[in-house]
C-alpha cells in the first residue's frame, strides 16, 4: 500500500474512534495522524507543526509502531504526551506527564504578556519577569523567545515540572535569560534581592474547583497532573494568594497578568480592586467574549 492510500485508510479508521477536547482546537484527525506518523518515523512534532512537515515513507517496522501509537491515542493518551511536543505561541516545547499540556486558551495570556513585555522593555532596557506555576515553562519561555530584552525567573511547586522547564530552556538555548526554581508559588523568591524587582509577573494558576477536577474528561484526569488544575474548594485559592503576594515582588508600575476560569473574571477583577494596590485593572476576553485573563498594574 502506498503512503497516500495508507494515510487515507488510517484516517478513515480514526474518524469514529477519536474524540477531541474543546481546549485543544489544534487537534483533528489529520493533525493527529500526521503527528503520530512523524513520531513513528523518529520525528517529534506537535499537531500544529506536523501539518507543515512532509510525511516520509515508512518501513514495515515503523508502520507497526504507528499502529501502536494510534492505539495509545484511541485509549485517551494525550497526543502531546505521545509525540513529546506541544506548540505554544509558535514555539515547539517538550511536553510529557511532568506538567500540564499548554493550551491554546493560555495563548491569550501569552499574547498579553508579550505585549506588556515589549511596552515595558526596549533596546536599552532589559526587564525582569516572574513566571509562577510555570509547568513546562511555556509562558515565560515563549515571551523570552520572542522578546530578547527580558530576563525570566520561573517557579513551580513540582520539582518534575521545574526539570521539564529546564529541558525546554536548554533545548531553546535560553539559559542566559531564563532560569527555573522549585517552590510553592513565590516562595522560591522570598529574599531581599527579589523584592520589588519584577516588571511583570505571569501565572497560569490552577483555577478549577476540587469537586470539578474529579469530573474532568478521562483524557485529562487519567494523564495530566491534578495539582495543575485544582484551585481548592471554590477554584480561587491560588489566585487569592497570587493577588496578595505579587505586589511584594512587583516594581511600582509593574504588571501582574494571569489566567482565570470561565465565569470567574468579574469576581477576580473585584478582588484585585479590593487589594488596594493596583491602579489599572484590565480584563481580556476570548472569542466568546468571556474574560480569561486579568492584568493589573501596581500603583506608582
pLDDT in tens, 224-264: 787 767 767 657 889 999 999 999 999 999 999 999 998 89
The answer to whether the CB of 1 falls within 8 A of the CB of 57 is no
Percent of the chain residues topping a pLDDT of 90: 83
- Rounded to the nearest integer, the mean pLDDT of the chain is 93
- pLDDT at position 142 is 98
Closest CA to 43 of 72, 28, 65: 65
pLDDT band at 106; cut points 50, 70, 90: very high
| Cell reading at 37 | 506518523
For the segment 141-170, the average pLDDT, to the nearest whole number, is: 97
pLDDT band at 217; cut points 50, 70, 90: confident
- pLDDT at position 153 is 98
For the segment 41-69, the average pLDDT, to the nearest whole number, is: 97
Closest CA to 154 of 204, 91, 193, 226: 204
Quick one: CA dihedral 207, 21, 105, 164, positive or negative?
A: positive
pLDDT band at 55; cut points 50, 70, 90: very high
Domain with CATH 3.40.50.150 in the chain: 104-298
> Would residue 267 be called left, alpha or beta, if left means φ above 0 and alpha means ψ between -120 and 50 degrees?
alpha
CATH class of 104-298: alpha beta
The answer to whether the CB of 131 falls within 8 A of the CB of 200 is no
207: pLDDT strictly greater than 80? no
- What confidence tens digit (pLDDT) does each residue in 120-144 have? 998 889 999 999 999 999 999 999 9
Closest CA to 280 of 116, 129, 104, 131: 116
Amino acid at each position: 500500500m502506498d503512503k497516500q492510500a495508507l494515510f487515507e485508510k488510517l484516517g478513515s479508521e480514526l474518524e469514529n474512534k477519536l474524540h477531541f477536547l474543546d481546549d485543544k482546537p489544534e487537534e483533528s484527525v489529520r493533525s493527529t495522524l500526521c503527528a503520530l506518523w512523524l513520531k513513528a518515523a523518529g520525528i517529534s512534532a506537535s499537531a500544529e507543526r506536523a501539518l507543515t512537515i512532509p510525511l516520509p515513507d515508512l518501513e514495515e517496522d515503523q508502520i507497526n509502531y504507528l499502529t501502536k501509537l494510534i492505539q495509545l491515542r484511541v485509549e485517551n493518551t494525550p497526543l502531546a504526551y505521545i509525540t513529546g511536543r506541544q506548540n505554544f505561541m509558535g514555539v515547539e516545547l517538550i511536553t510529557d506527564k511532568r506538567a500540564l499540556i499548554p493550551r491554546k486558551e493560555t495563548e491569550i495570556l501569552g499574547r498579553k504578556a508579550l505585549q506588556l513585555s515589549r511596552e515595558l522593555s526596549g533596546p536599552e532596557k532589559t526587564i525582569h519577569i516572574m513566571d509562577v506555576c510555570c509547568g513546562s515553562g511555556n509562558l515565560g519561555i515563549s515571551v523570552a523567545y520572542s522578546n530578547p530584552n527580558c530576563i525570566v525567573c520561573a517557579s513551580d511547586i513540582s520539582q518534575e515540572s521545574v526539570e521539564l522547564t529546564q529541558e525546554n530552556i536548554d533545548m531553546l538555548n535560553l539559559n542566559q535569560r531564563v532560569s527555573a526554581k522549585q517552590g510553592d508559588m513565590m516562595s522560591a523568591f522570598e529574599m531581599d534581592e527579589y523584592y520589588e524587582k519584577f516588571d511583570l509577573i505571569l501565572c497560569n494558576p490552577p483555577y478549577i474547583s476540587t469537586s470539578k477536577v474529579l469530573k474532568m474528561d478521562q483524557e485529562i484526569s487519567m494523564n495530566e497532573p491534578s495539582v495543575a488544575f485544582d484551585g481548592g474548594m471554590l477554584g480561587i485559592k491560588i489566585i487569592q494568594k497570587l493577588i496578595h503576594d505579587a505586589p511584594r515582588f512587583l516594581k511600582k508600575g509593574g504588571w501582574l497578568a494571569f489566567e482565570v476560569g470561565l465565569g470567574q473574571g468579574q469576581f477576580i477583577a473585584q478582588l484585585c480592586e479590593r487589594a488596594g494596590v493596583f491602579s489599572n485593572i484590565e480584563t481580556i476576553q476570548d472569542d466568546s467574549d468571556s474574560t480569561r485573563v486579568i492584568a493589573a498594574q501596581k500603583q506608582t
